[in-house]
Amino acid sequence: MTTDLDAIHRYDQLTARVYGERRLPTCTRDLILALGWVTLRDPKRHHPDVPVWDRTREVLNLDNRQMWETIAEDVPRYEHDWHAGPSGCQAPMVRVDRLCGRSTTIGFAEFDPATGWMRDWGFCSRPRCREYARPILERAEHSKDRAPEPIPNAGGRLPLFFAWNWESRYRKAMRVIRHRTEWEPPSYGLSADEWPAVPGQDKPQAFPKLRLVAVSGEFVGRDAPVLAGSRHT
């Protein structure tokens, strides 16, 4: 049987883990902490007429649409940084240790064969720079067809901490907030700890998930929240 001391300990563990998770958007962090509070520490957590979803909105002082916006922010997905593209020619200079940097006249994308991520290339009209670009362009041709499904680089943090029907919630959030119905869950999984490791990036660690029960598509509180994967007596 779960005791109040168990709940306090779990909440402390959850809070420490959340604050130790880098690249966690503020809105997602706040929702995770609020869900943890409502299910583990809130004085109203045992009240039969206080659904977890409604109480979490109250704690965060958000309306229903804002709650869906928060979930939409955490939809697992790959996002290309369109602002990180080349600002000038990327061919290296011969006698100076820097890139050419002249205005580009040719640009194309290359897809990484390991991650499926896209890289933007740009080169100027100089013959030397065009010659440097030629093998890269040849390599990039049809790279999208050969590349795997992009490994997600955004979202997937809520399933790190809570076991729930996130696929259904993500679909609704994308439909209501982003007006997109074509979203499909990545084959790598919904939780960021399930995704393949990407060189140069820290992979989120697995965390014992607090199980949320849903009725009619909404959160429902439990007298004794259970951490998925944990054993309690």
Distance, CA of 38 to CA of 45 (rounded, Å): 6
Helix (H) and strand (E) counts for the chain? 8, 7
Mean pLDDT per 10-residue section of the chain, whose length is 233 residues? 77 91 90 92 84 89 93 96 89 94 96 96 97 97 96 95 91 94 95 92 82 52 40 34
Residue 230, classified by CB atoms within 10 Å of its CB into exposed (0-12), middle (13-18) or buried (19+), is: exposed
pTM of the model: 0.84
Residue 2 is predicted with a pLDDT of 57
Q: Which DSSP string do the residues of 114-128 spell out, in sequence order?
A: TT--EEEEEE-S-HH
- Amino acid identity at 146: R
Distance, CA of 162 to CA of 171 (rounded, Å): 17
Residue 199 is predicted with a pLDDT of 87
Residue 233 is predicted with a pLDDT of 30
User: Angle at which helices 4-19 and 26-40 pack, to 10 degrees?
Assistant: 170
Residue 47 is predicted with a pLDDT of 82
